[in-house]
């Protein structure tokens, strides 16, 4: 009889429960509500900056894409949810000094009334606050979606003058290469079939910004290596610039060959967008041929550790973030509560001048297109047979609707019915007090009589900021912000001196003579106006 044995295995101790595939780290239960509350807190505090950004999206076709940037960024984060769930969110104290610097950046932008600066600072604050609460590891995994939010900031119009100049240069060069004679003056040119102007809509800045945003997203989604991504982003910036040059040339040629029946009015813009769309689609089609295969998803593993993490890991960091984001607004309120002053009185400027240059009655017939000054001064002067004019636009207690440096302020607007600006430059002179003065220069042409004839003005212009003098808009904004930060107010002025004249010499000698004689006295009188605030 055989022996029967029944082997019974000894009971094993129960194994620890494995993490469910895709299960989130428990720290997210606290971290997510905290980060959403913090972002809401920032948007409520800086609602005026956020609403200003949205208003630009609404009114400017160049920046309409801003509406889709936040949803795209949110979708990009959602794509990473599986990987993010396995990470333990933890605070990042290194973000605190960065938040202080960004807050100062916002304050300076607010004091100088620069939309782009305050809006960039707002987005940077949102990004840093999220990383501060969720930690560096999480921030690294959602770095691109966070940085993509900066495309929502409506910035880039500062490129418009340069892009307009490049477009005019290429169009004129291409027309001449085609055998068409061209007479050019500034951004305006005449061909046998008619006259053309390169205006703001012809700059191509909206094509550039749209292409750069979409191209950056395409590179992120289709390429895995930084090198290929960078190359495509550079291409997406260069292609719309060259495409806009070709677009401008083609439109002029269509008008020329059709007797100005084609590519006029609305057709001008429609043909431009169709051409741009074809070029961009071709760029993406070519770029898609080098797309990388999707990376294999990382193997899911059990979350490391079960510590609470997130906001509970270091609540002091979270509290500090809530406090730090509110400090710039507190500083702004304190500074503005001490600044309000009476409107400036420029009557004392009427006596500015010298024995050689005698003020004449009546204001000059022309003045710059600067909007919303607190006070204005305009005076004609005579020296023998020479006549010239001085114009001062004085700004005080500036805000976003009434400020010296603005994209809407110009010597001459592109749609001015009487004048057009045909050249710009810089000049340097020494006034009667021995001070060196650097100024911006411009040549204006009266529209009557066409480009080749008619009256003109030689113009010198510069900015006066609480006693500082510059012809650079960026420095003028910086001086204004620093002056307000130091509690000296924001008194600023545009100074323009002009005289009749045509190229090549124009009225330069007349303008320079009046500047040398009158500026020291005028500068002293402006300081007295500022001291009476």
User: Residue 57 — pLDDT band, cuts 50, 70, 90?
Assistant: very high
User: Which residues lie closer than 8 Å to 474 by C-beta, 6 or more apart?
Assistant: none
Mean predicted lDDT score pLDDT of the chain? 83
Closest CA to 152 of 79, 239, 43, 278: 43
Whether cis (ω within 30° of 0) applies to the bond prior to 504 is yes
Q: Does residue 28 have a pLDDT over 60? A: yes
The secondary structure element, H or E, covering residue 166 is helix 160-177
- 347, 528 contact by CB (below 8 A): no
What is the pLDDT averaged over residues 106-123?
A: 93
The pLDDT score that the predictor gives to residue 264 is 57
Q: Are residues 517 and 390 in the same domain?
A: yes
What is the pLDDT averaged over residues 106-128?
A: 94
* End-to-end Cα separation, the chain, in angstroms: 120
The length of the chain in residues reads 533
User: Residue 132 — pLDDT band, cuts 50, 70, 90?
Assistant: very high
Q: Are residues 408 and 470 in the same domain?
A: yes
Task: Assess if residue 90 is contained within a domain.
Answer: yes
Q: Are residues 84 and 57 in the same domain?
A: yes
What's the pLDDT tens digit per position in 373-426? Answer: 999 999 888 888 888 889 999 999 888 888 999 888 999 887 788 888 888 888
The pLDDT score that the predictor gives to residue 8 is 35
Q: Are residues 379 and 519 in the same domain?
A: yes
Q: Are residues 109 and 249 in the same domain?
A: no
Q: To which residue do tokens 């020479």 refer?
A: 386
What is the pLDDT averaged over residues 349-374?
A: 80
More confident residue, 422 or 453: 422
Q: Does residue 13 have a pLDDT over 70? A: no
Q: Express as a percent the part of the chain with pLDDT over 70.
A: 85
CA dihedral 60, 62, 68, 70 (to 10 degrees): -80
Q: Express as a percent the part of the chain with pLDDT over 90.
A: 41
What's the pLDDT tens digit per position in 160-192? Answer: 888 999 999 999 999 999 999 998 888 888 888
List the domain range (segments joined by +) for residue 79.
28-135+310-337
- Out of 58-72, 75-89, 259-273, which region has the weakest mean confidence (pLDDT)? 259-273
Task: Assess if residue 19 is contained within a domain.
Answer: no
Task: Assess if residue 151 is contained within a domain.
Answer: no
- 357, 383 contact by CB (below 8 A): yes
- Out of 22-26, 349-353, 437-441, which region has the weakest mean confidence (pLDDT)? 22-26
Task: Assess if residue 123 is contained within a domain.
Answer: yes
How many CA atoms lie less than 13 Å away from 247 in the CB half-sphere?
Answer: 29
Task: Assess if residue 440 is contained within a domain.
Answer: yes
The pLDDT score that the predictor gives to residue 300 is 43
Q: Does residue 21 have a pLDDT over 80? A: no
The pLDDT score that the predictor gives to residue 265 is 54
pTM of the model: 0.81
List the alpha helices (DSSP H) in 302-425: 310-313, 315-324, 327-337
Q: Are residues 516 and 373 in the same domain?
A: yes
Q: Does residue 449 have a pLDDT over 60? A: no
What is the pLDDT averaged over residues 107-123?
A: 93
Q: Are residues 71 and 97 in the same domain?
A: yes
Cα distance between residue 516 and residue 120, in whole Å? 41
What's the pLDDT tens digit per position in 281-331? Answer: 888 888 888 888 876 555 444 444 434 444 445 788 999 999 999 999 998
How many other C-beta atoms lie within 10 A of the C-beta of residue 6? 4
What's the pLDDT tens digit per position in 493-523? Answer: 999 999 876 544 556 788 888 888 889 889 9
Task: Assess if residue 293 is contained within a domain.
Answer: no
Cα distance between residue 261 and residue 248, in whole Å? 16
The pLDDT score that the predictor gives to residue 486 is 86
Q: Are residues 511 and 391 in the same domain?
A: yes
Domain count, the chain: 3
Task: Assess if residue 332 is contained within a domain.
Answer: yes
How many other C-beta atoms lie within 10 A of the C-beta of residue 508? 18
Task: Assess if residue 169 is contained within a domain.
Answer: yes
What is the pLDDT averaged over residues 346-361?
A: 77
Q: Does residue 220 have a pLDDT over 90? A: yes
Q: Are residues 364 and 478 in the same domain?
A: yes
What's the pLDDT tens digit per position in 481-501? Answer: 999 888 888 899 999 999 876
Q: Are residues 388 and 241 in the same domain?
A: no
More confident residue, 195 or 393: 393
What's the pLDDT tens digit per position in 36-55? Answer: 999 999 999 999 999 999 99
User: Residue 120 — pLDDT band, cuts 50, 70, 90?
Assistant: very high
- 466, 491 contact by CB (below 8 A): yes
Q: Are residues 484 and 351 in the same domain?
A: yes
Q: Are residues 225 and 367 in the same domain?
A: no
The pLDDT score that the predictor gives to residue 16 is 37
The pLDDT score that the predictor gives to residue 263 is 57
The pLDDT score that the predictor gives to residue 117 is 94
The pLDDT score that the predictor gives to residue 51 is 95
How many CA atoms lie less than 13 Å away from 8 in the CB half-sphere?
Answer: 1
């Amino acid at each position: 009889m055989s022996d029967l044995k029944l082997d019974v295995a000894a009971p094993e101790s129960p194994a620890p429960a494995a993490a469910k595939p895709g299960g989130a780290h428990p720290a997210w239960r606290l971290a997510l509500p905290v980060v959403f509350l913090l972002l809401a807190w920032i948007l409520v505090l800086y609602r005026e900056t956020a609403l200003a950004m949205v208003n630009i999206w609404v009114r400017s076709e160049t920046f309409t894409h801003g509406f889709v940037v936040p949803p795209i960024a949110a979708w990009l984060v959602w794509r990473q949810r599986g990987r993010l769930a396995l990470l333990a969110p933890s605070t990042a104290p290194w973000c605190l000094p960065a938040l202080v610097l960004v807050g100062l950046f916002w304050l300076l932008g607010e004091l100088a009334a620069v939309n782009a600066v305050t809006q960039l600072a707002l987005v940077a604050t949102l990004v840093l606050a999220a990383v501060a609460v969720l930690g560096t590891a999480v921030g690294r995994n959602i770095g691109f979606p966070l940085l993509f939010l900066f495309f929502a900031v409506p910035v880039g119009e500062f490129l418009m003058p340069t892009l307009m100049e490049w477009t005019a240069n290429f169009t004129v060069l291409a027309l001449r290469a085609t055998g068409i004679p061209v007479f050019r003056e500034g951004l305006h040119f005449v061909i046998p079939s008619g006259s053309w102007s390169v205006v703001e809509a012809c700059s191509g800045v909206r094509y550039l910004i749209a292409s750069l945003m979409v191209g950056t997203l395409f590179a992120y989604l289709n390429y895995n290596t930084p090198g290929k991504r960078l190359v495509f982003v550079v291409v997406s910036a260069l292609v719309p610039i060259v495409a806009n040059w070709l677009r401008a040339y083609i439109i002029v040629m269509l008008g020329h060959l059709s007797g100005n029946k084609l590519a006029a009015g609305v057709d001008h813009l429609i043909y431009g967008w169709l051409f741009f769309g074809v070029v961009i689609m071709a760029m993406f089609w070519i770029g898609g041929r080098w797309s990388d295969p999707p990376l294999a998803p990382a193997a899911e593993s059990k979350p490391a550790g079960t510590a609470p993490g997130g906001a509970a890991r270091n609540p002091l960091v979270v509290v500090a973030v809530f406090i730090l984001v509110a400090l710039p607004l507190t500083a702004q309120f304190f500074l503005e509560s001490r600044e309000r002053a009476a409107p400036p009185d420029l009557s004392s400027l009427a006596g500015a001048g010298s024995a050689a240059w005698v003020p004449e009655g009546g204001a000059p017939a022309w003045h710059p297109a600067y909007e919303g000054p607190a006070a204005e001064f305009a005076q004609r002067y005579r020296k023998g047979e020479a006549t010239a004019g001085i114009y001062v636009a004085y700004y005080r207690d500036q805000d976003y609707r009434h400020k010296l440096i603005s994209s809407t302020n110009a010597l001459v607007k592109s749609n001015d019915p009487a004048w057009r600006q045909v050249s710009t430059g810089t000049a340097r002179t020494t006034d009667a007090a021995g001070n060196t003065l650097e100024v911006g220069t411009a040549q204006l042409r009266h529209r009557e009589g066409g480009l080749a004839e008619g009256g003109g003005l030689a113009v010198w212009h510069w900015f006066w900021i609480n006693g500082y003098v510059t012809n650079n808009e960026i420095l003028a904004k910086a001086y204004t912000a620093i002056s307000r930060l130091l509690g000296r107010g924001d008194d600023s002025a545009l100074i323009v001196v002009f005289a009749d004249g045509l190229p090549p010499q124009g009225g330069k000698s007349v303008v320079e003579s009046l500047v040398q004689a009158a500026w020291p006295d005028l500068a002293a009188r402006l300081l007295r106006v500022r001291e009476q605030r």
